[in-house]
């Protein structure tokens, strides 16, 4: 609590025995200096599902209340640097989704 930590997230796209693309992203998160009471209440509300989320934050919902500052990409914090991955995949017609525009 009250400290800053860094999440490192990586993704690669393999094809046969080659890595076509890889990417690493980092996000820095500063936790608020909250009380034990707040933490107990947060964990009670979050339930057991908290253990299945990246960093046990559930930043997409109640977990946003844990932080005073976030530097970095939202999707990186969720565990997949999605926008760079989609940008790469758009180069390959077989991966393109019907509504994606080049």
More confident site: 49 or 39:
39
Distance of CA 71 to the CA centre of its chain: 12
CATH code for the structural domain at 4-95: 3.90.950.10
Using alpha carbons only, what angle is made at residue 52 by residues 51 and 57, rounded to the nearest 5 degrees? 65
The domains of the chain are located at 4-95
Phi, psi of 65 (to 5 degrees): -70, -10
pLDDT tens figures, 14-44: 989 999 999 999 999 999 999 999 999 998 9
pLDDT tens figures, 79-100: 899 999 999 998 887 776 666 5
CA distance 94 to 19: 17
Extract the runs of DSSP E, i.e. beta strands, from the chain.
4-15, 18-31, 67-71
Is the sign of the CA dihedral 39, 4, 65, 52 positive or negative? negative
pLDDT tens figures, 50-86: 888 777 788 888 889 999 999 999 999 988 999 999 9
Q: Is the pTM of this model over 0.85?
A: no
The position carrying tokens 């940008």 is 87
């Amino acid at each position: 609590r009250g400290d800053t930590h860094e999440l490192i997230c990586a993704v690669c796209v393999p094809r046969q025995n080659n890595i076509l693309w890889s990417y690493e992203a980092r996000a820095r998160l500063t936790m608020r200096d909250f009380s034990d009471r707040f933490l107990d209440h947060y964990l009670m509300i979050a339930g057991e599902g908290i253990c299945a989320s990246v960093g046990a934050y559930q930043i997409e919902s109640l977990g946003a209340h844990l932080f005073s500052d976030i530097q970095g990409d939202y999707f990186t914090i969720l565990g997949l640097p999605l926008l760079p991955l989609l940008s790469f995949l758009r180069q390959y017609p077989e991966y393109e989704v019907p509504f994606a525009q080049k």
